[in-house]
Amino acid sequence: MASGRSLLVLLLPILMAAAVLSASAAGPGDIAVFWGRNKEEGTLREACDTGTYNTVIISFLTGFGNYGNKYTLNLSGHPLAGVGDDIKHCKSKGILVLLSIGGPNGTYSLPSPQSAFSLADYLWTSFLGGSHTGVHRPFGDAVIDGVDFYIDQGGADHYDELARRLASLSYNKVTLSATVRCRYPDPHMTSALATGLFSRVHVRLYGDLKCTWADREAFEAWAVAYPASKMFVGVVASPDVDQDAYMFQKDLYYNVLQFAQKLPNYGGLMIWNRYYDKRDHYISSS
Ligand SMILES: *[C@@H]1O[C@H](CO)[C@@H](O)[C@H](O)[C@H]1NC(C)=O
Ligand SMILES: *[C@@H]1O[C@H](CO)[C@@H](O)[C@H](O)[C@H]1NC(C)=O
């Protein structure tokens, strides 16, 4: 007959296993992935058919604003034909489709309020719900769900005007997200985020500021600063992107998520990017 104490000793591993199971059952939340950074990653449709992602972020609109109002879409050599149908396919599966503007390697800035309005009108008529006869729509009649702001260079001005204009053109229907540097605040996005129009913030816990999950207070600072936005932990899918910031899956699940999921506005993970995720099976198994 086991005493109470030895019974507990016997039960403890079982209880712990159950705790781990229930923690992993809670899952990582929504998973967003950047697509469009490497032609070898396969099509957008294929990414959506993995069943892994709830959001795909087409990247990037690398040129806008200061450059003669010329807009440059860089999908790293993916053929444009077919992307529109793939967007429709992804949306039919309930996957949110965003287009990201800016990025680490573009040439962009908004020198004036007028350039912000022009960009908003361009995004509205060329990718979102608006249309004008004669306006070229790179993805045809496919309508994306929203715009991700990945502003990493140039001035910080007028992105608030861009956000407001997009919101008003769409009667607040368009989803706005911000993909920010890990350290709070990110000067490029401060005024835009102050509009309160961004429903999600993806925090890049990697990259040139030497961010890793060891800086998790940085993530917490973002979460506290924008309680009305869903917060996403941005991670790299391969050590090839950022060796110092790369986390093994078990650390991601049992360390990062255990902490992040306790924040009331935790939204999920943002994976950089589909190419590495497909190649290394970081989150996706295909
Ligand atoms: C598109 O982006 C890729 C990746 O950053 C870059 O290597 C390439 O030169 C860009 N293409 C153009 C036409 O700018
Ligand atoms: C893009 O920008 C990143 C970060 O600034 C840099 O490390 C990388 O070399 C750039 N890639 C290209 C193709 O210019």
Q: Please give the average per-residue pLDDT across 90-112, as a whole number.
A: 95
Q: Is residue 162 scored above 60 in pLDDT? A: yes
Is the model's pLDDT at 20 over the cut of 80? Answer: no
Choose the residue to mutate in 74, 105, 108, 244 for probing ligand 2, maximizing ligand atoms within 8 Å of C-beta: 105
Q: Is the pLDDT of residue 284 over 80?
A: yes
pLDDT at 11 over 80: no
Q: Give the model's pLDDT for residue 179.
A: 98
Average pLDDT over residues 109-124: 95
Kindly state which CATH superfamily the domain 13-280 is placed in: Glycosidases (3.20.20.80)
Closest by CA position to 233, among listed 208, 197, 267: 267
Stated pTM of the model: 0.90
Q: Could you tell me what percent of the chain has a pLDDT over 70?
A: 90
Q: Which amino acid is at 178?
A: A
Distance between CA atoms of 248 and 254, rounded to whole angstroms?
A: 10
pLDDT in the model for residue 21: 42
Mean pLDDT of 53-78: 91
Is the pLDDT confidence value at 10 over 90? no
How far is residue 197's CA from residue 166's CA, in Å, rounded to a whole number? 10
Query: What is the domain partition of the chain in residue ranges?
Result: 13-280
Res. 239: pLDDT tops 80 = yes
Lining residues, ligand 1, CB within 6 Å: 74, 76, 105
Q: Does 153 sit in the ligand 2 pocket, CB within 6 Å?
A: no
The predicted model gives 182-186 an average pLDDT of: 94
Return the higher-pLDDT residue of 29 and 61.
61
Q: Is the pLDDT of residue 26 over 50?
A: yes
Task: Name which residue sits closest to atom 12 of ligand 1, judged by CA.
Answer: 74
pLDDT of 6 strictly over 70: no
The rounded Å distance from CA 62 to ligand 1 centre is 9
Rounded CA-CA distance 235/250 in Å is 13
> If you average pLDDT over every residue of the chain, what do you get?
90
State residue 68's pLDDT score. Answer: 63
In the reported structure, the alpha carbon of residue 105 is separated from the centroid of ligand 2 by a whole-number distance in angstroms of 6
**Choice among 67-71, 165-169, 207-211 with the minimum mean pLDDT:** 67-71
Return the ligand number nearest the Cα of 181. Answer: 2
- Going through the chain in order, the beta strands assigned E by DSSP cover 30-35, 55-65, 72-73, 96-102, 107-109, 146-150, 175-181, 200-204, 230-236, 266-272
Can you give the pLDDT at residue 69? 66
Q: Whose CA is nearest to atom 9 of ligand 2?
A: 105
Which atom of ligand 1 is the closest one to the Cα of 74? Answer: 1
Other Cβ atoms closer than 10 A to 173: 12
